[in-house]
Amino acid sequence: MTSAHVDWNLYHSFLAVMQEGSLSAAARALGMTQPSVGRHIAALETALNAPLFTRGPDGVKPTATALEMQASAQAMASAAQHAMRVASGSEHDERGTVRITASQMMGGEVLPEILARYQAQHPLLTIELVLNNKMDDLLKREADIAVRMERPTQQALIAKRMGRVDIGLYAHQRYVQARGLPRTLAELAQHAMIGPDQDTFTTRLGAQHGIPISREMFSFRCDNDLALLAALRAGLGIGGSQIGVARRDPALQPVLPDQLTFSLDMWLLTHGDLRGNKRVMALYRYLTQELSAYALSSQRTD
């Protein structure tokens, strides 16, 4: 076997070991046995004539060669997944697979209900949903459609602004009963606050609005937006939420709505090369209508 004709399954196992950190974890993720994954890695090392992992008492560690080739192998995986989606149905047919990427909040709280209505009318369509904030996944063909809260800069993309999404502070009624509500921004410092740990998005957002926000302000920290929302609903403190999401829960009460509200633009994106793909563009048009309506529901009403 030459390096130019390496079985893709060997790279698949390689990526799993890189992502999972061990042969046993990779085997579980792939639904294989550990010896089979080990044979794949050994065969790939032989084909490439280069060691990819060092074995030790703590498991396997990637070599410099493995680290250098990880991005290329991931690009191969993305291309293979895109090819499978294309092959799942004719581009002129609504049957097949469409892969959507969205932020944690949009993907976990907003899109499922919207997509359920669409899939009920298109039962032959398979929808894949990935939660992340990467801006380059469409260009890498890791997804067909993206919902993003920042304006895209890549010219190869079709981008439509869905509208403004406002974010306000809220507290669960259990927290309010125990601690009350702040009446001013100064009093907010006396309350338990929920916010990010290492993620700097909220800090940058506050700076854009002239409001200093630091990690030390939060007594509960997490970089997962869905976990932060769960903490808010559990009454752990005062935290931010998209107004459209918070309005669905009558137990969440707005905090200082006239003094502290952030705004984000929501964008719907797809790759320009997919203009002729019927199933992708049909879902894109549907999401345009639904997300525009959601944006309106997420704006403050004074």
Nearest one of 238, 165, 236, 245 to 205, comparing CA atoms: 165
Q: Are residues 195 and 74 in the same domain?
A: no
Nearest one of 108, 129, 119, 42 to 241, comparing CA atoms: 108
> What's the DSSP call for residue 106?
I
Mean pLDDT of the chain: 85
Per-residue pLDDT reduced to its tens digit, 189-202: 899 999 999 877 77
Per-residue pLDDT reduced to its tens digit, 207-263: 766 677 778 889 999 999 999 999 999 999 999 999 999 999 999 999 998 888 888
- Looking at 86, 109, 144, the residue that finishes a domain is 86
Work out the pLDDT band at 2, boundaries 50, 70, 90: very low
pTM of the entire predicted model: 0.68
**CATH classification of the domain holding 130:** 3.40.190.290
Q: For residues 296 and 161, is the Cβ–Cβ distance under 8 A? A: no
Q: Are residues 51 and 197 in the same domain?
A: no
Output helix, strand, coil percentages for the chain, rounded to the nearest 5. Answer: 45, 20, 30
Give the total number of structural domains in the chain: 2
Q: Are residues 62 and 169 in the same domain?
A: no
- Looking at 53, 86, 119, the residue that finishes a domain is 86
Q: Specify the pLDDT at position 189.
A: 85
Least confident of 40-49, 176-185, 199-208, 226-235: 199-208
Per-residue pLDDT reduced to its tens digit, 117-129: 999 999 989 999 9
Q: Are residues 63 and 147 in the same domain?
A: no
Q: Which domain holds residue 35?
A: 3-86
Q: Specify the pLDDT at position 184.
A: 87
Q: Are residues 101 and 201 in the same domain?
A: yes
- Between CA 89 and CA 98 the distance in angstroms is 10
Q: Are residues 199 and 273 in the same domain?
A: yes
- Between CA 108 and CA 106 the distance in angstroms is 6
